Amino acid sequence: MDIIFAAEDAMFLGANFQYFSIPWDMHPRKAKELLYESRFIDAPEALGLGLVNRVVPGAGLLEETLAYAHRIATNDPFQLRMIKLAVNQMQDHQGFATHISSAHALHMLSSEGEKDANYALKVPEGRRRPMVERAFENYALNRKQT
């Protein structure tokens, strides 16, 4: 996910999923604010937070993405690889790879915990992943208010 284009109606939900890069994609305080609340982030907000590179109309998403990919593909592949390695090494020296591995382990632990019927104090109507369910509730509440 080096470059992310989003349709203008895209929605994102940061949570402790398999690939948990949210703390790397924005300031830790903002990450905590969003993650604690468990709410969807729309495309314009995702752009403002730096989670996506561009927001485009859904009808033009494929065309714009392919045009960008074509411009990149015409560059020197060796230099592109060196650029990617340099940026990735910078992140790894800051602890990115260690964080992603640790976050994945926590995701797996969460998945195992969800197999325990008593892992949450209350599981409404037998639904799992309470924070995801809460995000849907928050989304519906926010839509009613606007």
Question: Across the chain, what does the average pLDDT equal?
Answer: 84
| CATH number of the domain to which 134 belongs | 3.90.226.10
Tell me what pLDDT residue 86 has.
96
Tell me what pLDDT residue 72 has.
96
The per-residue pLDDT for range 108-144, each reduced to its tens digit, is 887 776 666 555 555 556 555 667 778 888 888 877 7
Domain extent for 84: 5-145
Q: Which residues contact 124 (CB under 8 A, 6 or more apart)?
A: 130, 133
Domain count within the chain: 1
pTM: 0.72
The per-residue pLDDT for range 26-41, each reduced to its tens digit, is 888 988 888 888 888 8
